[in-house]
Structure 1
Amino acid sequence: MARPRPVATPLRTTLTCAVALVGLTALTGCGGSPAASADDGALKVGVLFPGSLSDDGFMESAYRGYQRAARTHDGRIAFSKVEQVATADYEQALVRFATGSDLVISLGGQTDAAVRKVAARFPDVKFAEIGGPADGEPTANLALYDPQQAEAAYLAGAASALLSKKDTVAFVGGAELPAIVNAAEEFENGAKAADPGVRVLTPQYVGDFNDAAKAKQSALADFGAGADLLGQVLNLGHKGLAQAAAQTGGALIGGPLAHPCPADGTYAGYVETDIGAEIEYAAGHLAADTWKAEAVHFGLTFDEPHNDLVLCGNPPAAVQKKLDALKARITSGDVTTR
């Protein structure tokens, strides 16, 4: 299948440095001037990162793509951003971006309700949501980009079942949102496909993607209930899971992570994907005037950004072979996770 590629259009002028939304009161550039007036000839893109840009996961991966897009479209697009926004403030942040941007991008399914509401209020502004409900429908001015976390969760579940020494695994998600619930279901489906006899504990939802302390409590409960491998879809909260794994001798799998396998041995495998490439995709099509309010499903069937489940260390050859066979079933369409 042909993959959607970011469209690079080298054009002129000077790119505005990335900006922050302070107290949701004003957007300011790095030099102190309003972002909207940084370059009257530039297109403007605002990006809402609800989590930390240094979460070593979903948000950090997205931010790296944000930085690449800023370099690629230097002079053609002026980028602005806001990070670590409280749920109650999503709508306000999106409205502020919409009043001065050509394209507004929101990260994470937790922003779905807010971005749909604000997109409806600003029909002349383009919007894109990354990581929302996999079965969501785009609107006239809202594109949906699906990194297929459920696909990766299916593989994480399979790997967990194959590697578990206790034949018991579990899943911890940041919030009980449709995309995360779907990921939890596919984690179990993958585990059962790999080993029908494996025990999969009831999924836990921390209620906050970034609360490491609560995530650690959830992990300790699962490890205490007999699991030795935990799948996860968290942001900053995954660091709490790692603490619990180190404390109990358990292990984690899932992600995404913004780097290869951690050296501390807490991960049995991680999701390798590039959330930021989806920001590049949106920005590239905006610059080329080919942007569409479309639903795009990234994943194993695309070269870049490409989803994969990478096992850490030296996994048994039989485990890798079975995991590769399940990957092939996904790429062929025999297994679907949406």
Structure 2
Amino acid sequence: MTLNFTRRRFVLYGSATVATSLLLKACSQSTTPVAKTGDGGFKIAIALPGVITDQAWNQSGYEGVNLAKQKLGAEVAYVEQVAQADQTEALSDFARKGYNLVFAHGGQFDAAIEQIAAQFPNTFFVGVNGNLKGENIASLRIDHLQGSYLCGIIAAAMTKSNQLAYIAGQEFPATQEELRGFELGAKSVKPEIKITSTFTGDWNDVAKAKEATLALISAGADVIYQWLDSASPAVLQAASDKGVYAFGNTKDQLDIAPKAVLTSAVKRLDVAIAYLAEVARKKQIKGQIYTVGLERPDILKLGNFGAVVPEKIKQDALKVKQEIIAKKIYFEDCQEAGKNTRCAKKS
């Protein structure tokens, strides 16, 4: 069966029936025991900051738990549009209802996970894009830096103004990592290139995304790397309208703006989530940070290339991809300008 929590309510439905909707706050007093694998089934839930139809981050998380349902026969639940103030309540409610594995889909959930995990030792919490590990806490991360490094190489080869831009919804470790990769890749081609970043404060606000894009273009940026959810098409379309280039993210977004999109950093979070759910189902999950990179092309890869990208630039990027997989190019912790970051090295 599947549970759907929409903001403050959930709907229980199976193959033939729909159960009664209940207010989430009312349900928060539930003391339902945790279901045990083998007697009560395996139960997986995910809390999402946006809507499951965004064609990007949130949809990939939703598809991930459903892929796990298909593969493992698990009972699955989700809640969408979870505001910051509701994060602890949403995660706690899943734990009280006996979910074995609860995904929190975004690094912005880290504080909520840290606050409640110890109260629910029988539930394992996984922060997607998180930066936590503990007794019953893991993080699942795509190595965003690897994907954006390749995009940075392409951007530096395509720019005419030598000014690039990065737009994301919020500033936290995953977006900083992606920005760093974009910068490293671009500077490996043109060391003096300029990269400007901006964070709109909202992954789904179309008006803010378009406004930020137009401001960056007005300031001289002619290649834009974006990481947004429902608002991402606004960036790509604005870039296309202004005759500049952009990158898709999470999904292959070439079709949204084929004249502007150079390629996409495709992140199959659905596959990654299903993989970790299978690990948990086997009771092999550990309190660690699970990081997946280009060595798993079923999870992280470049999408289709736009027709505007010359074959040589495409092949140069693909060659670097193979060098990263072969560890001829690797990324290690370092300090730069007094800050902890990652630097590119060659073996």
Post-superposition Cα deviations, 1:173-227, rounded to whole Å, max 9, x if no partner, equal 1111122122112211111112224332x21011111112111111001111111
Contact kept in structure 2, 1:152 and 1:308, CA below 8 Å: yes
In the alignment, is residue 56 of structure 1 matched against residue 92 of structure 2? no
In the alignment, is residue 83 of structure 1 matched against residue 80 of structure 2? yes
User: Counterpart of 2:91?
Assistant: 94
In the alignment, is residue 248 of structure 1 matched against residue 209 of structure 2? no
Q: Relative to total residues, which structure has the larger strand share, 1 or 2?
A: 2
Contact kept in structure 1, 2:254 and 2:262, CA below 8 Å: no
Q: Which residue identity does 2:11 align to in structure 1?
A: T
Contact kept in structure 2, 1:168 and 1:228, CA below 8 Å: yes
Equivalent residues in 2 for 1:16-165, closer than 5 Å:
16-17=1-2, 19-24=3-8, 26-30=9-13, 31-32=18-19, 41-74=40-73, 77-100=74-97, 101-132=99-130, 136-165=131-160
Question: How many Å separate the matches in 2 of 1:21 and 1:103?
Answer: 16
Secondary structure of the equivalent of 2:331? coil
Contact kept in structure 1, 2:156 and 2:187, CA below 8 Å: yes
**175, 178, 183: which is aligned to 1:183?**
178
Question: How many Å separate the matches in 2 of 1:81 and 1:258?
Answer: 24
Question: How many Å separate the matches in 1 of 2:253 and 2:275?
Answer: 21
Post-superposition Cα deviations, 1:17-52, rounded to whole Å, max 9, x if no partner, equal 3x222442x433121158979x97222111111112
Question: How many Å separate the matches in 1 of 2:86 and 2:236?
Answer: 29
Question: How many Å separate the matches in 2 of 1:61 and 1:22?
Answer: 17
Question: How many Å separate the matches in 2 of 1:282 and 1:27?
Answer: 25
Distance 1:238 1:303, change over 3 A: closer
Q: Which 10-residue stretch deviates more, 284-293 or 111-120?
A: 284-293
Deviation at 1:314, TM superposition (A): 5.3
Distance 1:182 1:86, change over 3 A: same
Question: How many Å separate the matches in 2 of 1:253 and 1:65?
Answer: 23
Secondary structure of the equivalent of 2:300? coil
Distance 1:224 1:303, change over 3 A: closer
Question: How many Å separate the matches in 2 of 1:316 and 1:264?
Answer: 15
Distance 1:243 1:320, change over 3 A: closer
Secondary structure of the equivalent of 1:255? strand
Q: Which residue identity does 2:169 align to in structure 1?
A: G
Question: How many Å separate the matches in 1 of 2:167 and 2:77?
Answer: 32
Contact kept in structure 1, 2:249 and 2:264, CA below 8 Å: yes
Question: How many Å separate the matches in 2 of 1:318 and 1:198?
Answer: 20
Secondary structure of the equivalent of 1:81? strand
RMSD: 2.3
Deviation at 1:264, TM superposition (A): 4.1
Question: How many Å separate the matches in 1 of 2:330 and 2:281?
Answer: 36
Q: Equivalent pairs: percent with the same residue?
A: 27
Q: Which residue identity does 2:90 align to in structure 1?
A: A
Contact kept in structure 1, 2:55 and 2:230, CA below 8 Å: yes
Distance 1:110 1:258, change over 3 A: farther
Q: Which residue identity does 2:91 align to in structure 1?
A: L
Equivalent residues in 2 for 1:257-336, closer than 5 Å:
257=251, 261-262=255-256, 264-308=258-302, 310-313=304-307, 315-333=309-327, 334-336=329-331
User: Counterpart of 1:4?
Assistant: none
In the alignment, is residue 233 of structure 1 matched against residue 230 of structure 2? no
Q: Which residue identity does 2:172 align to in structure 1?
A: L
In the alignment, is residue 203 of structure 1 matched against residue 197 of structure 2? yes
Deviation at 1:320, TM superposition (A): 1.5
What is the number of residues matched between the two proteins?
314
Secondary structure of the equivalent of 1:328? helix
Deviation at 1:145, TM superposition (A): 0.9
User: Counterpart of 2:163?
Assistant: 168
* Structure 2 residues not aligned, in runs of 5+: 23-31, 333-341, 343-347
Runs of 4+ with >4 A deviation: 33-37, 258-261
Q: Which has the higher contact order (CA 8 A, sep 6+)?
A: 1
* Structure 1 residues not aligned, in runs of 5+: 1-15
Distance 1:323 1:23, change over 3 A: closer
Secondary structure of the equivalent of 2:294? coil
Deviation at 1:259, TM superposition (A): 5.5
Question: How many Å separate the matches in 1 of 2:51 and 2:109?
Answer: 15
Contact kept in structure 1, 2:68 and 2:273, CA below 8 Å: yes
